A and B are shown apart, each in its own frame.
Chain A
Amino acid sequence: MIDTSVREKYTAVIGLEVHAQLLTKTKIYNTDANAYGHSPNTNVSVITLGHPGTLPKLNKKVVEYAIKMGLACGCDISREQIFDRKNYFYPDLPKGYQLTQDRTPICMNGHVTVFPKNGEPRDITLNRIHIEEDAGKSIHLAGETDSLVDFNRAGVPLIEIVTEPAIRSSEEANSFLTEVRKLVRYLDICDGNMEEGSLRCDANISVMLKGSTTLGKKVEVKNMNSIRNVQRAIDHEIERQIAEIEKGNTIFSETRTFDAATGTTAGMRTKEELNDYRYFPDPDLSPLIVSEEWLKEIEATMPSLPNDLLAKYVKEFNLPEYDAQVLTDTKEIAAYFEALCGKTSNYKAASNWVMGPVKSYLNDSNENIEDLSVTPENLAEIIQLVDESKVSFSAASQRLFPAMLKGDGQSALATAESLGLIQDSDSDSIGELIDEVLAAFPDKVAAYRKGQKGLIGMFMGEVMKKSNGSADPKITNELLRNKLA
């Protein structure tokens, strides 16, 4: 570990390249299934395999999904899509070139807002989002001299989201990825699964002395299969680069791979050669024009996005920022909450219910909120019962809600009735408050019973305090005496 005072001298400059596999039914240039986990080389037509005489045909859904991401990030959408060939040899690349977008990315500019743990929210500017095809997978089996290739993944559609070198810390990087994952899931264009590789991230990292205007040499780090590992890799790489510079060494541009077991990066054994990909426009795909009409259609299908909902919950629903963050964490929870708020206007209670009993049940049961048997309508009814003092909150959360989770389709009121949870008179609720007070002061209760009858005044005061002065003193006094008898 380098000294904090040394660390403080430097600024880190980080750019991310995020690849997201799109959830289209078929591949980007043919009708092979786009599916994960199938037997090797089962989703491979002659087009995927790049047989002689085959041509690509663009799956328009891919363009639609990419545009959605662009719109979600406030990007400019290019109206003429040209696809380029990126030429290089690798066994998992069937055509000997990858179809990508070099000069005309579908989305340009735009930004993603990050909410780093120890810092202010900030907009990270995007350089571009472009469309490309995934390659197959080389498989090197232990003990085998020959490698194998699985082409199922070849031609799976990807978008690559490229940031400007605008990220300043690993925490910002973490938040960027969290937000991107949230966005693709809200948009339903990618499952965001980093372990399975449907969301992948490479980081370009450099350091420079604070106040310097010349960027340091950037190092590309690959092979991080979780958001946490991206953060770890960046932290390690910043430390490593600073340590090298402090030792008087120079940093050179290279590609390094992250080892999750040790938390360190190591240079990849690739030769120091300049890759010339010889990009040029693919003559097999005609330029695709994004018409105003099509763009409008896509815009019309855009769902509410997490940041819009967050702003709404804070500004319109007067919820704390923390609540709003938790409620918009996933599209599904937000959808549930939205539906709930359509049925009740007690937003704070709604938030408490979702963040409390609902989330803890989901955590314990591993259930998805979409499958919850207590519907937003049911929960709104429960909230109403509590608001109207027909059921106490404790009874509602500890008995009514669990009973309804087992769900026989009955209304909340009917369930509360059959469980005997309805407070049919004021005396019931006052009785509860008295029970709580008496339970809180066991010594005083004993003393009263031994003859210190003057304590009745103190008990009365406590009950009144608990009821915010709303308890009827006459009934309270009568109930108290009965309970203490």
Chain B
Amino acid sequence: MEPYTSLNLIREDLKSGKITCCELVEYYLKNIEDHKYLNAFLEVYTEEAQETAKKVDVKIKEGTAGPLAGLVVSIKDVLCHLDHGLQASSKILEGFQSQFNGTAVQRLIDADAIIIGRTNCDEFAMGSSNENSAFGPVLNAIDNERVPGGSSGGAAVSVQADMCLVALGSDTGGSVRQPAAFCGVIGLKPTYSRISRHGLMAYASSFDCIGLLAKNVDSIAATLEVIAGKDDYDSTVSQKPVPHYSQNLTPDSEYKIAYIRETMEAEGINEEVKAKTVEAIEKLKSNGHQVDAVDFPLLDYLLATYYILTTAEASSNLSRYDGVKYGFRSPHTHDLESMYKKSRSEGFGHEVKTRIMLGTFVLSASYYDAYYTKAQKVRRMIRDETKKILSKYDFIVLPTSPTTAFKLGEHSEDPLEMYLADLFTVQSSVSGLPTISIPNGKDNGGLPIGLQIVSDDFQEEKILAFSNYLINLN
């Protein structure tokens, strides 16, 4: 079987009888088996996927199949899937199974998508390299000595190595976009609140988004239109109607695009990444689009704002993992206090503990105003300033990451260096704006480079159409 990248094509071939869902599933299962060493999956639902494929094949014959029939999807280990393991790649949830389907997962199932397995990630989605997993790192399929990015590293590799068509990940500060860039695939973080967070394990609630990865825009569009939209279980989800993204992928003839001057001059930006970004800008210009450099002086405050607010929320969100009700409880305890301390010390990994402590600190009474309150104000400014640019331009384009995929262990000594990997992705996260990362060529070593496209709130339709256009332009 030739690798598929487009759900449209799969649908056509299913309809014509050229392939069956069973064959598709076998194809992906074989790829998963062949790429086991990449460590992308924590669990593969072999029999279940085969069973579902059979049922969907029958439905296709009967003409009763749902809109995502033929879609084989992986889900990141932070998405609740009834009676399936759920650990956020952490020891603290040892043996835990979700007792419900999250909204996105339920909608996938209802639409006849086939869930093939759950993917590895950084513990509690905290990380930019997928090295913070209790189940070991995920390897980049292009270069096995390099990281796939994180935190949705398993998700990115599952698409990269053709182990499924679409992957659901989560993006709090770039966790879908950055691994997409490192792996040479497309990664979309929709507008905050576009997809219900019911059934998405919380890292930083006011930032967390379910994101989608695939090799083709139409596959992302078709999946997004199924899983997005209002939901009774999430009071923060947007009530806005969901457009038919997959039907509206025709681009406009002329766009107004901004790029942020400061990003191109940022410390640590790799020359090749910069050159490819400039190349993309030039190409857009030569195709008749207006591209201007704009200033964004708040760039220096992005990472601080992001890390103060996300760690604050995380310190509270992760309090529930205490060894009392479920998951891991340390065997070395003799009373309540030692149960808490030991269970959490032994159950959480180093990065997670670092962030819990950081968050606890910034929320503590003596420092609250200096850090949390101030960061909230700066967050508002960042959003306002970014939206101001977007009131004049259709998109902002910027590199996804300052570098291409780095080597395993390369940044493990200095967390600050690792945090710099998020420099270009956190702006949209802090602002809640929809952003996609699309492949933008490769460096001299053949490592993929990503380009981000940011638009105003709920402009996913526009982003997808533009991305489709830009990818085909390359």
Contact = CB atoms under 8 A, between A and B. Distances in A.
Contact of A87 (B326, B363, B372): B363
Interface in B191-224: 197-202, 204-206
Contacts of A278: 315-316, 360, 363-365, 368
Interface stretch (B13-21, B52-60, B229-237, B402-410): B229-237
A339 interface: no
A57 B326 CA distance: 23
A260 interface: no
Interface stretch (B92-100, B248-256, B453-461): B92-100
Contact of B312 (A50, A95, A276, A280): A280
B198 A280 contact: no
Given A56-B235, A283-B206, A46 B100 contact: yes
Contacts of A57: 232-235
Contacts of B86: 52-53
B360 A283 contact: no
A284 B196 CA distance: 11
A27 interface: no
Contacts of B123: none
A52 B80 contact: yes
A393 interface: no
A96 B316 contact: yes
Contacts of A51: 80, 98-100, 326
B201 A53 contact: yes
Interface stretch (B147-155, B182-190, B282-290, B317-325): B317-325
Given A94-B325, A96-B319, A286-B235, A55 B201 contact: no
B98 A149 contact: no
Contact of A276 (B236, B324, B365): B365
Contacts of A284: 197, 202, 205, 235-236
A54 interface: yes
A97 B313 CA distance: 12
A280 B363 contact: yes
Interface string A50-73: 111111111000000000000000
A285 interface: yes
B88 interface: yes
B315 to A, nearest CB: 8
Contacts of A94: 320, 325
Interface in B94-116: 96, 98-100, 102
A197 interface: no
A89 interface: yes
Interface string B117-147: 0000000000000000000000000000000
9 contacts: A51-B80, A52-B96, A53-B98, A55-B235, A96-B318, A280-B313, A283-B205, A285-B235, A285-B236
Given A53-B102, A147-B336, A284-B202, 10 more contacts: A51-B99, A52-B201, A53-B78, A53-B201, A54-B198, A55-B198, A56-B235, A97-B316, A278-B316, A283-B313
Interface of A: 46, 49-58, 85, 87, 89, 91, 94-97, 147, 149, 276, 278, 280, 282-286
Interface of B: 78-80, 86, 88, 93, 96, 98-100, 102, 197-202, 204-206, 232-236, 312-313, 315-316, 318-322, 324-326, 336, 340, 360, 363-365, 368, 372
A-B interface, 7 closest residue pairs, ranked by CB to CB distance from nearest: A96-B319, A283-B206, A283-B205, A278-B363, A53-B80, A52-B201, A53-B199
